[in-house]
Amino acid sequence: MEIWYNDSSINTGDLFLNDTELDILPIPETEEQSNDIVPQPVVEEEPDKQRGMLRFIFDVVETLVLSLILFAAVNFVTARIRVEGSSMLPSFQDGELVVVNKLAYSMGKPQRGDVIIFHYPRDPSMEYIKRIIGLPGDTVLVHDGKVFVNGQELKEPYINEPPDYEKLDVVAPGMLFVLGDNRRHSSDSHEWGVLPVDLVIGKAVFVYWPPQDIGEVKHYSLLSN
């Protein structure tokens, strides 16, 4: 015989009927009772924290790698130089910072009137900024305060003052004749000779400091042909 009960205080070992041991079974829970038992969710905070930390580390590493790639690319294509001295007045002021296109002559040839940065032939550790006047094969004559290339007088709106020296040079292959815009106060080809093209770093393209001087570098076409 089975008796159903819902009182946990009953000692089933004490219940007998007609010397027959009774099987005491608990009364099944009703739907209403079972609904009162709400399972507690398992909180997994530690794995979430670990995933968040790994994601943060990944983002930092990714940012650093991209920054390094961008830095390397910018340095491969450009250089930054500081103008020192007055040899390029009035075009460039002492202390200006200039962006240099290092690939300008990988995709093209130097032109008369270009402002270039190069390693000083007498001390390659030094960098100079000057303007190209003569190309390979050109005959350059500086006479009576004027500059002539292949017999044509150059119109030079960018110079500070006319030169006060005399110079004649036939530019050899692989060489350039360069002058500073401040003709009377410049160490350039009139003083130390022509410049090997291999020493050219690139073409000046943009002044980015100080703020009042920000702008593109002007290059002039010096000859009609």
Rg (C-alpha) for the chain, rounded Å, is 43
Q: Hunting for tokens 């003083």 — which residue is that?
A: 191
Six-digit token string for 148: 């002539």
* Active-site residue, from 87, 91, 186, 189: 87
At residue 133's C-alpha, the angle toward residues 132 and 135, to 5°, is 85
Report the alpha-carbon distance of residue 154 to residue 150 in Å, rounded: 10
Q: Which residues contact 181 (CB under 8 A, 6 or more apart)?
A: 87, 88, 89, 90, 91, 92, 131, 158, 159, 160
Q: How far is the CA of 28 from the CAs of 1, 12, 39, 96, 220, in angstroms?
A: 17, 17, 19, 91, 100
* Active-site residue, from 91, 130, 186, 203: 130
Strands 139-143 and 123-134, by their bridges, are unpaired
Instruction: Decide if 179 contacts 130 (C-beta within 8 A).
Output: yes
DSSP for 73-122, written as a single string? HHHHHEEEEE--SSTTTTTS-TT-EEEEETTTTTSS---TT-EEEEEETT
Residue 130 annotated as catalytic: yes
Residue 49 annotated as catalytic: no
Q: Which residues are catalytic?
A: 87, 130
